[in-house]
Amino acid sequence: MALLELRNITRRFGKLEAVSNVTLDIAAGEFFTLLGPSGCGKTTILRMIAGFDAPDAGSIALDGRPLAGIAPEKRPVHTVFQSYALFPHLTVAGNIAFPLEMAGRTRDEIRRRVGDTLALVHLEDKGDAYPHELSGGQKQRVALARGLVNRPRLLLLDEPLGALDAKLRERMQGELIALQREVGVTFVFVTHAQQEALALSHRIAVMNAGRIEQVDVPEVLYSAPRNRFVADFIGTINLVEVSVTATAPDRLELAAAGLGALTTAPVADAAPGTRGALALRPEHVRIGRAGAPATLKNRVEGTVAEYLFLGDVTVYKVRLADGSRFEALETNAGAGRAQFHAIGERVTLQWRHDAGVFLRD
Amino acid sequence: MRAFFCATEARADKLTRWLVTAPPVLFLVVFFVLPALIMAAASLREPGPFGGLAPLAAQGLTLDAYRFVGEDPIYAWILAKSLLVAGLTTLLCLLLAYPLALLISLSPRRRRDFMVLLVILPFASNFLIRIYAWIMILGPLDLLYRSGAVVLGLVYVHLPFMILPLYTNLEKHDPALLEAAQDLGAGAWTRFRRVTWPLSLPGVLSGSALVFIPVLGMFAVPELLGGTGDILIGNLIKEQFLDNRDWPLGATLSLALTAAVLGVAALSAAAARRRRRP
C-alpha cells in the first residue's frame, strides 16, 4: 500500500481549475517530485497534503487513513517553506526544538535530538545563533532540520532551493539526496527546475495546467516522454512535424515535410497516416562536415546558425532546409582543441534509426 | 601613505557619526536636560510671595521642598497611586487594543487604512470636549466622580496610542511564520503564545510607554471625571504651580515623577534584556 494516496483531487479557485482530477500514489521512503511551470497547481497539491487547503473533490489518505478534516497541526506532515519561515525570535536550536516541544517530548530528549539533527545538517556550532546571523545556505539547512527533527511521515518541500545561487544550489542538491537517504523520510518536493528534479528524484510527476502529464522515473521521463509538453519541458529537444508512412516491428518510417524520410523506434498502434512529432534529444544528433560519409540511418543537411561553447560540450543550432532549427550537442572530449564548426558552415546531422520518440498528436 | 588614508578615513567616519547623532542629542539637551536642570534648580529655591521664585540673592538655596515632601507620606502615597492608575490604564489599553490591532492587521489591505482612520478619528475633536461628553454619559448613570470614571476616561483618551504602535508591529508579521508553526504542530493558542506575542513585544513596549508616561502626568481627566479623593500626581503638580504658588514644591514633585518614569523605563528595559537571553 502506498504511503500517500491522492484520488481524483480537484481544486477550483473561482472559475480556474487549479488542480484537475489528480491521482497519485507515493511510496514510503520515496523522493517524489512534482515538476511543472509556475501556476500548474503543484504548490496547491502540496498545500492540500499539508492541510492548509482542501480539495473540492477527491480524497487524500496517509497510511490508509483519510486526511480530510484533520487540521494541519495534527497531521504527521511537515513542510519546508520556500521562504524558510524560520522564527526570527528563536535561536537555531530553538527553531529546531519547536516541533519537538509541540509534540510534548521531554527536555532531555529535545536536547539530544536537536544536537543530533544539528550534526546531521553540519551546523553543530550554530545552535545559539539567530536566523538573521546565518547565510542563505545555513538558513536552508535549519529549515530542513526543523522539518525533519520530529521524523514526520512525510516532508513537503516547496521550492526550497529557489532562493540559493547556482553553486550553492548544486551543493544543497547533493546534501538533500544524502539527507533523505540517511533519515529515510518520504520527501515530496515541488520545483519548476527540471534539472533539479532529474538530479534529485526517485520519481517525477510532470504537471501542466492542473493535470498530471506523466509520472515516471527520471530516466524514462527524459528518454521516453509521453507527449510534446513533457518532451519540451524536460531538457532540450528537437521536435519535427512528421506523419507515419510505414510500420515495421523494429522501426517506424516517417515523412517530414521538407526533410524527407526518417526512421525512429516503433510505438504501439501507430498506423500509416498518423500525424505527430519526432522528438529527438540534441545529444543523439551527430554533427559533421557536409558531405561526410553516411554512417547512421537518418541524415539531414543544414547550416550552422550559432553555437554555444559551454566547456564540456558545444551546442550547435543548425538551420535546416525547411527553415526550422535543430540542436546538436557535441562533447569536447577529443584530444587537443575541440573541433569547431563555424557559423555559416554547411554541416550534416545524423542520428541512429532508433533514436528519438514518435509523439502522436 | 596607507596609514594616512586610514587616518583620514577614520576621521571622516567620526565626522559622519557626529553629524548624524548631533541633532537628536541637541534636541534632548534643549528639550529634556535643560528643563530638568531648571526644575532641579527651582526645587532648591524659596517660593516667591505671589508665585514664581523668591530672589536668589535675598533667600539663597534651601531643601525645604524636599523636606516637606519627605515628611508627609501623602505625597509618596499619591505618587504610588498614580503609578498604579497609570499601570492599570496601560494594562486595560493593552487588553482592549491588542485584539483590535490584530483584527486590523488581519483585514484585507483595502479595509485596513479605513479602520486606522476610525482609530484616529476622535483626535478630530478637542480632547476636553470629548471628556465633557463622557460627563454627560456618566452623569445620568451615576458613575461620575469615582476612580472608575477616571480610569475609564484615561483608557478612552489613550487607547489610540496603544492601538497604533501595536498595529504597525503586527502588520509587519510574516504570515508564513504562523503557517510554519501550525505545520509543525502548534494549535491556535500556542501559535499566538509562541509566535505572534513574542514578535509583537516591541509594539507592546512602545505602546505601553506611550500610554503609561502621559497618564502619569495627566491632570485634566481626574479633575473632570474624578472625585476629591481621585487626584493624581499630575493634579498635585499643577496645583503647586497654579493654585498654591509654591513653585519649588511643584518642581520637587515633578522631579519625583520624572525619577519614577525613568525607574519604570529602566525596569522594563532590564526585563526586556533578561527575556532575550534566558
CATH number of the domain within which B78 lies: 1.10.3720.10
Higher-confidence residue of A289 and A31: namely A31
Q: Sorting pLDDT into bands at 50, 70 and 90, what band is B3? A: low
For position B239, what pLDDT does the model report? Answer: 86
Q: Name the A residues in 40-99 with CB < 8 Å from any B CB.
A: 50, 52, 71-74, 77-79, 81, 83, 85-89, 98-99
Selecting from B177, B190, B199 the residue whose C-beta is nearest the C-beta of A85 gives B177
Grid cell, residue A57, equals 473533490
Partners of B190 on chain A (C-beta within 8 Å) are 102
Most B CBs within 10 A among A89, A154, A158, hence the mutation to make, goes to: A89
- For residue B55, being part of any structural domain is answered with no
**Region A220-233: what's the mean pLDDT?**
92
Q: How far is A148 from chain B (nearest CA, A)?
A: 10
Q: CA-CA distance, A91 to B100, in Å (whole number)? A: 30
- For cell 516541544, name the residue: A101
- For residue B263, being part of any structural domain is answered with yes
Q: How far is A175 from chain B (nearest CA, A)?
A: 23
Cα pseudo-dihedral B111, B113, B119, B122, rounded to 10: -120
- Span B200-224, pLDDT tens digits: 999 998 899 899 988 988 888 888 8
Q: How many domains is chain B partitioned into structurally? A: 1
Q: Which residue on chain B is closest to A49 by alpha carbon?
A: B183
**Strand (E) positions, A4-66?**
4-13, 16-26, 31-35, 57-62, 65-66
Q: Sorting pLDDT into bands at 50, 70 and 90, what band is B147? A: confident
- For residue B261, being part of any structural domain is answered with yes
**Does position B254 have pLDDT exceeding 70, yes or no?**
yes
Selecting from A50, A73, A81 the residue whose C-beta is nearest the C-beta of B185 gives A73
Evaluate whether A156 touches A191 at the Cβ level (below 8 Å).
Answer: no
Interchain CB distance below 8 Å, A89 and B183: no
Partners of B198 on chain A (C-beta within 8 Å) are 89
Selecting from A50, A73, A83 the residue whose C-beta is nearest the C-beta of B187 gives A73
**Region A238-245: what's the mean pLDDT?**
91
Q: CA-CA distance, B42 to B248, in Å (whole number)? A: 5
A66-75, A153-162, B14-23, B142-151: least confidently modelled range: B142-151
Interchain CB distance below 8 Å, B195 and A87: yes
A53-67, A211-225, A237-251: least confidently modelled range: A237-251
Q: Sorting pLDDT into bands at 50, 70 and 90, what band is A257? A: confident
**Region B169-188: what's the mean pLDDT?**
94
**Does position B275 have pLDDT exceeding 70, yes or no?**
no
**Strand (E) positions, A192-233?**
203-208, 211-216
What's the domain range around B241? 64-276
Interchain CB distance below 8 Å, B176 and A52: no
**Region A57-84: what's the mean pLDDT?**
94
Evaluate whether A194 touches A205 at the Cβ level (below 8 Å).
Answer: no
Cα pseudo-dihedral B56, B57, B60, B65, rounded to 10: -30
Most A CBs within 10 A among B184, B195, B196, B275, hence the mutation to make, goes to: B184
Element housing B211 (H / E): helix B197-217
- For residue B230, being part of any structural domain is answered with yes
Amino acid at A222: Y
Selecting from A52, A85, A103 the residue whose C-beta is nearest the C-beta of B185 gives A103
**Does position B19 have pLDDT exceeding 80, yes or no?**
yes
Q: CA-CA distance, A317 to A324, in Å (whole number)? A: 10
Average pLDDT of chain B to the nearest whole number:
86
**Does position A54 have pLDDT exceeding 50, yes or no?**
yes
Does ipTM surpass 0.95 in this model?
Answer: no
Q: Check residue A136 and report its DSSP letter.
A: H
Most B CBs within 10 A among A87, A90, A107, A151, hence the mutation to make, goes to: A87
- For cell 504570515, name the residue: B175
Q: Sorting pLDDT into bands at 50, 70 and 90, what band is B278? A: very low
Q: Which among B43, B183, B254 is positioned nearest to A155, based on CA atoms?
A: B183
Q: How far is B186 from chain A (nearest CA, A)?
A: 6
- Span A15-24, pLDDT tens digits: 999 999 999 9
Interchain CB distance below 8 Å, B199 and A146: no
- For residue B79, being part of any structural domain is answered with yes
Partners of B182 on chain A (C-beta within 8 Å) are 52, 71-73
For position B76, what pLDDT does the model report? Answer: 85
**What residues have CB less than 8 Å from A299, skipping those under 6 apart?**
A348, A349, A350
Task: Using DSSP bridges, classify how beta strands A4-13 and A16-26 pair: parallel, antiparallel or unpaired.
Answer: antiparallel
Percent of chain B residues topping a pLDDT of 90: 37
Most B CBs within 10 A among A101, A102, A151, hence the mutation to make, goes to: A102
- For residue B195, being part of any structural domain is answered with yes
For position B1, what pLDDT does the model report? Answer: 47
Grid cell, residue B5, equals 588614508
Grid cell, residue A61, equals 489518505
For position A48, what pLDDT does the model report? Answer: 96
- For residue B148, being part of any structural domain is answered with yes
For position A85, what pLDDT does the model report? Answer: 95
Grid cell, residue A30, equals 520515496
**Region B123-151: what's the mean pLDDT?**
86
For position B9, what pLDDT does the model report? Answer: 66
Q: CA-CA distance, B155 to A91, in Å (whole number)? A: 37
Interchain CB distance below 8 Å, B199 and A88: yes
Partners of A83 on chain B (C-beta within 8 Å) are 174, 176
Higher-confidence residue of B240 and A117: namely A117
- For residue B51, being part of any structural domain is answered with no
Partners of A87 on chain B (C-beta within 8 Å) are 177, 180-181, 194-195
Which phi and psi (to 5°) does residue B46 adopt? -90, 145
For position A58, what pLDDT does the model report? Answer: 94
Domains of chain A, first to last: 4-232 (3.40.50.300), 236-360 (2.40.50.100)
